[in-house]
Amino acid sequence: MTILHVDNVRKTYGGNSYALDGVSFSVEKGEFVAIIGPSGAGKSTLLRCVNRLIFVTSGEVSVNGIAVTGLSNPSLRRLRRTIGMIFQHYNLVNRLTVLENVLHGRLGYKSTIAGTCGFYTASEKNRAYEILHAVGLHEHIYKRCDQLSGGQKQRVGIARALIQDPTLMLCDEPIASLDPSAAKIVMDTLRDINTRLGITVVANLHQVHVARDYATRIIGVNNGRVIYDGLPKDLTIDIIQKIYGSEAHDLILADGDTHGTH
Amino acid sequence: MGLKHTTSFSQMVTHMARIDFFVRQRIVAFVVFVILCGLVYVSIVVTEYDVAKGFTSIPKAVRWSTENFYPDAASFKKINKIATRLSDTIITAVTATTCASLLAFFFAIIAATSTRPHWLFSLVSRAIASLFRNVDVSAWALILLFSFGQSTFTGYLALFFVTFGFMVRVLIETIDQVSGDSIEALRATGAGAGAVITQSVIPACLPQIVSWTLFMIETNIRSATLVGILTGTGIGYLFDIYYKSLNYHAASLVIVAIVLAVLAVEALSNTVRRMML
């Protein structure tokens, strides 16, 4: 079953340069797709076109068979609540508690009044406790988010996405601001979500070896175009060089695993 | 040999570029200094300001103040009257500031890049705020005097307008800086506009909103004195009366009372700020 279909998507911010230049691919249910590429390749833009945080200039994106571009506001809200999203900078309300931030994930299901007043049902609150237990944050439920470490903040972000009951999870550089051990916990959590809950994951990643370790499929993007779309094991050094261009050399030196296959 | 020559030549070029950078900085600093000196000289000539006289009159001013401008025993009999007028002024400043801040918040919401419904709202909101902000509070007082006469309401409106203009500007920046990221996250969950504002913008910006409002209350108590002189209300009017009737002792007591009130409000707002963070 196709969860996400991206068809010839272009995005320009005015002028002749394209942030996305004719991107097409499909994601099946249960896949763990890693999108890799150098900074400024258009990875973040691509991800944001999926839930229409950014409008595409031309082309079409559909999620669960629903075309995103033409949606009215209420329909867009209904679609967005089935798509979880986590961010490089976690995007939490730092002055609120962990619990409150997790419950924000339910706002898409609320009427205007209930949402504006922040009314949550008892079952929603119980679910928040359960999820926080599952991601290992049960000791921090009533802490303000600005008291947490980066890895803990990202897990709050994951909990906020999970409480939406998403079918698709978008991850925009989820570990780019984390130290290696926190990054591993976050990536393991994402893999867990993917394999055990069957939630499809599409993640922008900076590190080739992380993408290889966790993804079931890798899409390489450069200059707004898809350069590679295939299995992690088929990602050769030549292709990496093509994806990263002049940045490839630094990348390979820093990555012992890739260097070994040379 | 040839290679060596090229290397040393390119090194020399880099070396020169480095020196050039600092030399250029010094030249720029010197030019700015000369321009400033020129401006000072031109203003002295235009205003016919006598530099020597300006400085020598300072001791005279100090002597006059210590001889006349201090509260004496007789002036303390007026303390009740001063206290009533002062509290009028403080209340006017506080209500004008809080009401203006509240209205400013709505204008800021529709103007901030991360929350505006359409860029046109932003343009209109910013234009209105800019108009209110860029006319000085004393000018507003004089303009409003025609319509509303010598009343507290005139002063209230003058303070309201300027505070509104200032707060819109400050809150727009606060909203974009502080809550931009979490707004994006809440949008992505499918939250409606109302929920985004109450669950993300307000909690994230609350300390700044309160802090700026308190700052404007302090500022407005000071401005309220001037506005009072112009509109014939509050503590400013009392000062004006005493001053013009040559009762310098009572006038000085008014000044002391204002300074104490401002210090008290400052201390209070600092306490509130500490508790908020």
Q: What is the mean pLDDT of residues A132-157?
A: 94
B269 to chain A, closest Cα gap in Å: 20
Interface size, chain A vs chain B, as Cβ–Cβ contacts under 8 Å: 92
Q: Judging by beta carbons within 10 Å of its beta carbon (0-12, 13-18, 19+), is residue A126 exposed, middle or buried?
A: exposed
Domain ranges in chain A are: 2-82+166-260, 90-164
Q: Which residues of A touch B187 (CB under 8 A)?
A: 53, 80
Dist CA A262 CA A251 (whole Å): 13
Q: What was the pLDDT predicted at B20?
A: 81
Q: Which of B201, B195, B198 is nearest to B182 (CA)?
A: B201
Q: What is the mean pLDDT of residues B189-207?
A: 93
Name the closest residue on chain A to residue B277, using Cα atoms. Answer: A95
Q: What was the pLDDT predicted at A256?
A: 46
**Beta strands A18-28 and A2-12: pairing type?**
antiparallel
**pLDDT at residue A3 tops 60:** yes
**pLDDT at residue B18 tops 80:** no
Q: Which residues of B touch A84 (CB under 8 A)?
A: 189
**pLDDT at residue A50 tops 50:** yes
Are A108 and B207 in contact (CB < 8 Å)? Answer: no
Mutate to test the interface with A, among B109, B177, B189 (most CBs of A within 10 A): B189
| B188/A contact by beta carbon, under 8 A | yes
Dist CA B148 CA B160 (whole Å): 14
* A2-82+166-260 homologous superfamily: P-loop containing nucleotide triphosphate hydrolases (3.40.50.300)
This prediction has a pTM of 0.81
Which of A45-49, B2-6, B215-219 has the weakest average pLDDT? B2-6
**pLDDT at residue B97 tops 80:** yes
Residue B75 — pLDDT band, cuts 50, 70, 90?
Answer: confident
Residue A258 — pLDDT band, cuts 50, 70, 90?
Answer: very low
pLDDT tens sequence across B137-179: 999 999 999 889 888 899 999 999 999 999 999 999 999 988 8
**pLDDT at residue A13 tops 90:** no
| B205/A contact by beta carbon, under 8 A | no
Q: Which residues of A touch B185 (CB under 8 A)?
A: 85, 87, 91-92, 104, 157, 160
Please provide the DSSP assignment of B233-272 as one string.
-HHHHHHHHHHHTT-HHHHHHHHHHHHHHHHHHHHHHHHH
Q: Which residues of A touch B206 (CB under 8 A)?
A: 95
Secondary structure (3-state) at A175: coil
Are A79 and B190 in contact (CB < 8 Å)? Answer: yes
Are A108 and B204 in contact (CB < 8 Å)? Answer: no
Q: Which residues of A touch B207 (CB under 8 A)?
A: 95
Are B188 and A83 in contact (CB < 8 Å)? Answer: yes
**What contacts A71, CB < 8 A, 6 or more positions away?**
A52, A79
Q: What was the pLDDT predicted at B1?
A: 44
Residue labelled with tokens 């992505």: B188
Secondary structure (3-state) at A170: strand
Buried b / exposed e along A97-121 (16+ C-beta atoms within 10 A): bbbbbbbbbbbbbbeeebbbebebe
**pLDDT at residue A259 tops 60:** no
- Phi then psi for A82, rounded to 5 degrees? -90, 0
